[in-house]
């Protein structure tokens, strides 16, 4: 019992404004199997949309699951989708293509397509296109963070499928691999990139969100387990420092006594604080 209490309660929240906003709850409906990729896409990809009751327009959240870029499914993060929908967000919970069959930047292109689809379907889904956030865990957080940082910047990762519409207004990122250059070797990253860092140093840098931080980046809520051995905590703290060096608003939520998987399993408090963050930055009070 003591261990469970510690896992659920111990955290450090840096940048916490200290003023929780009221988050009314409502019912929602679920729309399954919403294809968000074009007909000629290499693989048909789908989203589950959780739509809150009410006329809207609502703020929205693009949600992306973890799994090392090669496994799991949107269902693994349905609990977070339901929580967000209960608190008034339209949630678009997406799948993406898997490595090693598809290498970087294929998965980035998938989430960029999802963001365009949200904009294209905003009226049908009762979404306010000016209030779209992003929420991801692990590999999903990596993809959404990268999308957010390259959006509208005109670089290699932005030009084909990105653009200003792929910039979320705020990002919640959990257990995020923010700097792939920190791995000299590792099967998950090698499978995603297509080789070792020694073989492909430019690709490792290009795929690292921290490399793309700039002064027009959106606000970030970053959460991470302090016992994470798969993605060490310095990915979070270094990324937070890089964003703050450009005066980007950040909140850093460190989950003590939790590793990579336990920070996901016991993510309730982080999800709550991340939802508070989205409420503030997507101006939910005016909805």
Burial of 9 (0-12, 13-18, 19+ CB in 10 A): exposed
Give the chain as a DSSP string.
-HHHHHHHH-EEEET--S-PPP-----EEEEEEEE-S-TTSSS--EEEEEEESSS-PEEEEEEE--STTTS--GGGGHHHHHHHHHTT-EEEEE----TTTS-TTHHHHHHHHHHHHHHHTTTTTTEEEEEEEEEEETHHHHHHHHHHHHTTS-STTTTTT-SGGG--S-EEEES----GGG-SS-HHHHHHHTS-TTT-HHHHHHT-GGGG--TTPPPEEEEEETT-SSS-THHHHHHHHHHHHTT--EEEEEETT--HHHHHHT-HHHHHHHHHHHHHHTTGGG-
Domain range enclosing 274:
2-286
The tokens of 140 are what?
């999903």
pLDDT in the model for residue 141: 98
Q: 10 Å Cβ neighbour count for 10?
A: 14
Per-residue pLDDT for 10 more than 90? no
Percent of the chain whose pLDDT exceeds 90: 86
pLDDT tens per residue, range 276-285: 999 999 987 5
pLDDT tens per residue, range 61-83: 999 999 999 999 999 999 999 99
Per-residue pLDDT for 138 more than 70? yes
Pick from 263, 234, 283: nearest CA to 7 = 263
pLDDT in the model for residue 90: 98
Per-residue pLDDT for 6 more than 70? no
User: What are the backbone angles phi and psi of residue 181, rounded to the nearest 5°?
Assistant: -70, -15
Please name the residues in contact with 154: beta carbons below 8 A apart, sequence gap of 6 or more: none
> How far is the C-alpha of 71 from the C-alpha of 63, rounded, in Å?
16
Q: Number of structural domains, the chain?
A: 1
Residue 268's pLDDT band, with cuts at 50, 70 and 90, is confident
Q: Which CATH number belongs to the domain containing residue 195 in this structure?
A: 3.40.50.1820
Per-residue pLDDT for 136 more than 80? yes
Average pLDDT over residues 19-32: 93
Average pLDDT over residues 81-91: 97
- Rounded to the nearest integer, the mean pLDDT of the chain is 93
Given a contact cutoff of 8 angstroms between Cβ atoms, the answer to whether 37 and 113 are in contact is yes
pLDDT in the model for residue 168: 98
pLDDT in the model for residue 120: 98
pLDDT tens per residue, range 45-62: 999 999 999 999 999 999
Per-residue pLDDT for 3 more than 50? no
pLDDT in the model for residue 285: 58
Average pLDDT over residues 167-173: 98
pLDDT in the model for residue 286: 47
Residue 9's pLDDT band, with cuts at 50, 70 and 90, is low
pLDDT in the model for residue 130: 97
pTM confidence score: 0.94
pLDDT in the model for residue 283: 80
pLDDT tens per residue, range 174-227: 999 999 999 988 899 999 999 999 999 999 999 999 999 999 999 999 999 999
């Amino acid at each position: 019992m003591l261990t469970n209490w510690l896992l659920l309660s111990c955290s450090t929240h840096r940048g916490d404004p200290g003023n929780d906003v009221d988050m009314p709850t409502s019912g929602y409906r679920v729309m399954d199997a919403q294809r968000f990729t074009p007909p000629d896409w290499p693989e048909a990809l789908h989203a589950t949309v959780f739509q809150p009751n009410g006329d809207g327009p609502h703020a929205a959240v693009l949600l992306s699951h973890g799994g090392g870029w090669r496994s799991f499914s949107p269902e693994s993060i349905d609990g977070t989708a339901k929580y967000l929908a209960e608190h008034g967000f339209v949630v678009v919970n997406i799948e993406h293509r898997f490595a090693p069959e598809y290498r970087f930047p294929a998965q980035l292109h998938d989430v960029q397509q999802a963001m365009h689809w949200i904009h294209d379907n905003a009226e049908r889904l009762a979404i306010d296109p000016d209030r779209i956030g992003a929420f991801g865990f692990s590999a999903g957080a990596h993809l959404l963070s990268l999308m957010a940082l390259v959006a509208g910047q005109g670089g290699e990762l932005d030009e084909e499928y990105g653009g200003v519409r792929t910039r979320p207004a705020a990002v919640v990122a959990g257990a995020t691999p923010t700097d792939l250059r920190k791995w000299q070797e590792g099967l998950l990253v090698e499978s995603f990139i297509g080789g070792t860092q020694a073989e492909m140093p430019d690709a490792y840098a290009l795929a690292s969100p921290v490399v793309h931080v700039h002064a027009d980046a959106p606000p970030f809520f970053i959460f991470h387990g302090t016992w994470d051995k798969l993605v060490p905590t310095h990915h979070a703290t270094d990324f937070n420092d890089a964003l703050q060096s450009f005066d980007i608003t950040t909140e850093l939520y460190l989950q003590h006594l939790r590793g990579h998987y336990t920070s996901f399993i016991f993510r309730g408090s982080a999800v709550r604080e991340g939802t508070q963050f989205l409420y503030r930055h997507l101006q939910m009070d005016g909805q």
